Amino acid sequence: MASSVHHLLFIINLLIIPTTLLSQSIIQMPPRRHRITDDNLYCDSWRFSVETNDAGTWTSIPSRCVAFVQDYMTGDRYLSDSAAVANYSLSFARGFRSEEMVRTLGSSTSMRLCSPICPTIRRMDSGLNSYGHRSVTFDEASFDEWVDLAEAPALPASLKLYKELKHLGFKIFLLTGRSEHQRNATAKNLLYAGYNNWERLLLRGPSDQGTTATVYKSEKRSDLINEGYRIHGSSGDQWSDLLGFAVAQRSFKLPNPMYYIA
Amino acid sequence: MASSVHHLLFIINLLIIPTTLLSQSIIQMPPRRHRITDDNLYCDSWRFSVETNDAGTWTSIPSRCVAFVQDYMTGDRYLSDSAAVANYSLSFARGFRSEEMVRTLGSSTSMRLCSPICPTIRRMDSGLNSYGHRSVTFDEASFDEWVDLAEAPALPASLKLYKELKHLGFKIFLLTGRSEHQRNATAKNLLYAGYNNWERLLLRGPSDQGTTATVYKSEKRSDLINEGYRIHGSSGDQWSDLLGFAVAQRSFKLPNPMYYIA
């Protein structure tokens, strides 16, 4: 019965890739160059544009920004930005909890907060940036091997958020663009990374192939709503995790200047 | 006739405030403190959260970030970020132009790209940040005086975009949260700042009072759609310029870590 599933609910699209990608060379970075201040300014503005979705679709990191992105992802800034977003997500979740306590009449509130596994990396091997230079290459075979390895660590802020949400009593759904045949490897990796007792792990089934991430994820959220869930929060490192239809009451954009999924 | 207004169309919500606000002390900044690296990291992550809308509603700059925001707004970064966004807006507009040339059948394409005058500043005089410290104060009387002065300069990137769009043949609408009684001062300021020949300047009329910026701007966009315009682009420095209903095909978020308008 639909009304029976109004539990506290979060869906987390777990982000457990980027630092590993860099350290395991799945995305091949050119040798680090001496950085020029102008590049920093340019690249920080580029990052602003991609993180706010002003840039729209983009296929590769500009070559002059590869070192900048590498610094960002492997230094304190990525962790700090992720932690800030997770803190806002948690504040929101806590607010709901108390709001619910105020207007409680027995039926609990379902809630969804996504922060995805980011399974797919856009092909960048043929990517030429606007300056005509090859920048970042993506090796799909290495990526699949890495998925099967199932040893990606959690993004610390996401794991902390996950545990806090569980503690608050939320049901947590995990929504990923990975395919159904990667379910075992994905679940194994989640457990390895410290996640457990999620409510459901949602992957692309045969009927989901060929759709954009925005449509696929919207459809999955819509299915949950049709099951009776209300989606109050959603987080992910891609705008395609957050936009479309059946969107959450609040969305939380995690940083990712590495790649774009439409 | 509705079909007669399918012109090339942009609406620009002109942003002509922040640097002036700082230099004219309409927002009173505490004396600049010696900055600590941890503050920079914290404040850059705070800025990420507000620019992506992860922070949701916020009422004041955290006191430890006031010097950071002042540096950001008065240095190269704000201009660079604004220019990057304007460039993406322009690329989008140019793409439409050529697309139209390909499928031209006489009827032109209407298009809307907002980048607002940012007329309202949220009251911050009673704002205590999460650390309990008073941070930034807003003097409403000074602000009204400043509006009447009508001498705010244009944000260079927005003015350049405006002129390029005019050159491309777009009709440009200006949408602002200022009230109708400020029409003359606003138009005077626009001309002073270098803007001219806009299609229409839209301000809050009596029936628009008391609505949030999101609803007010959505309603104004909706009115234009009902007149027969199609809104392809929208830009503004507030998420309330871009979200809601009757949204544009593409939205462009300009930087503004100074204040939040719901």
In this model, does residue B67 exceed pLDDT 60?
yes
Q: How far is it, in rounded angstroms, from Cα A152 to Cα A187? A: 12
**What six digits make up the tokens of B6?**
């399918």
Q: Looking at beta carbons, which residues of chain A come within 8 Å of B53?
A: 251, 253
Domains of chain A in sequence order: 2-253 (3.40.50.1000)
Contact A54 B84 (CB under 8 A): yes
Given this model, what pLDDT does residue A153 score? 83
Query: C-alpha A13: how far from its chain's center?
Result: 5
Mean per-residue pLDDT over chain B, rounded = 74
The mean pLDDT of B162-191, rounded to a whole number, is 87
List the single range of A6-10, A20-24, A192-196, B181-185 with lowest mean pLDDT: A20-24
Given this model, what pLDDT does residue B8 score? 53
CB A111 within 8 A of CB A225: no
- How far is CA B122 from each of CA A6, B20, B216, B234, rounded to the nearest angstrom? 36, 16, 16, 22
Given this model, what pLDDT does residue B124 score? 28
Q: Are strands A250-253 and A233-236 parallel, antiparallel or unpaired?
A: parallel
Question: At a CB cut-off of 8 Å and minimum separation 6, what does B206 contact?
Answer: B180
CB B196 within 8 A of CB B224: no
CB A256 within 8 A of CB A237: yes
Smallest CA–CA separation between B220 and chain A, in Å?
A: 22
Structure confidence by residue, pLDDT tens digits, B226-238: 998 877 788 789 9
Percent of chain A topping pLDDT 70: 68
Percent of chain B topping pLDDT 70: 68
Question: At a CB cut-off of 8 Å and minimum separation 6, what does B126 contact?
Answer: none
Residue in chain B lying closest to A80 (CA): B45
In this model, does residue B136 exceed pLDDT 70?
no
Beta strands in chain B (DSSP E): 9-11, 27-28, 137-138, 171-179, 200-204, 233-236, 250-253
In this model, does residue B119 exceed pLDDT 80?
no
pLDDT-derived band at A95, boundaries 50, 70, 90: confident
Exposed, middle or buried by CB within 10 Å (0-12, 13-18, 19+), for A232? buried
Residue B83 in contact with partner chain A when CB distance is under 8 A: yes
Smallest CA–CA separation between B47 and chain A, in Å?
A: 9
> How many beta carbons lie within 10 A of that of residue A158, not counting itself?
27
- How far is CA A207 from each of CA A1, A215, A222, A246, rounded to the nearest angstrom? 25, 12, 15, 19
Given this model, what pLDDT does residue A11 score? 52
pLDDT-derived band at B10, boundaries 50, 70, 90: low
pLDDT-derived band at B168, boundaries 50, 70, 90: confident
Residues facing residue A171 across a β-bridge = A9
Contact B80 A54 (CB under 8 A): no
Which of the 8 DSSP states describes residue B200?
E
Structure confidence by residue, pLDDT tens digits, A61-86: 999 999 999 999 889 999 999 999 99
Contact A88 B55 (CB under 8 A): yes
Contact B85 A56 (CB under 8 A): no
Taking alpha carbons only, the member of B148, B157, B184 closest to residue B14 is B157
List the single range of A92-106, A128-142, A202-216, B60-74 with lowest mean pLDDT: A128-142
In this model, does residue B86 exceed pLDDT 70?
yes
Taking alpha carbons only, the member of A183, A58, A17, A74 closest to residue B84 is A58
Q: How far is it, in rounded angstroms, from Cα A154 to Cα A198? A: 15
Q: How far is it, in rounded angstroms, from Cα B201 to Cα B14? A: 11
The mean pLDDT of A169-186, rounded to a whole number, is 88
Residue B85 in contact with partner chain A when CB distance is under 8 A: yes
Q: How far is it, in rounded angstroms, from Cα B60 to Cα B135? A: 7
Given this model, what pLDDT does residue B139 score? 62
Smallest CA–CA separation between A191 and chain B, in Å?
A: 28
Collapsed DSSP state (helix, strand, coil) of residue A143: helix
Q: How far is it, in rounded angstroms, from Cα B136 to Cα B61? A: 7
In this model, does residue B20 exceed pLDDT 50?
no
In this model, does residue B32 exceed pLDDT 70?
no
**What six digits make up the tokens of A25?**
């060379």
Smallest CA–CA separation between A87 and chain B, in Å?
A: 9
Radius of gyration of chain B (CA): 19
- The label of the residue with tokens 């009422």 reads B59
Structure confidence by residue, pLDDT tens digits, A198-217: 889 999 999 999 999 999 99
In this model, does residue B19 exceed pLDDT 90?
no
**What six digits make up the tokens of A72?**
């960002």
Residue A249 in contact with partner chain B when CB distance is under 8 A: no
Structure confidence by residue, pLDDT tens digits, B239-262: 999 999 999 888 999 999 988 988
Exposed, middle or buried by CB within 10 Å (0-12, 13-18, 19+), for B227? exposed
**What six digits make up the tokens of A229?**
């869930």
The mean pLDDT of A139-155, rounded to a whole number, is 76
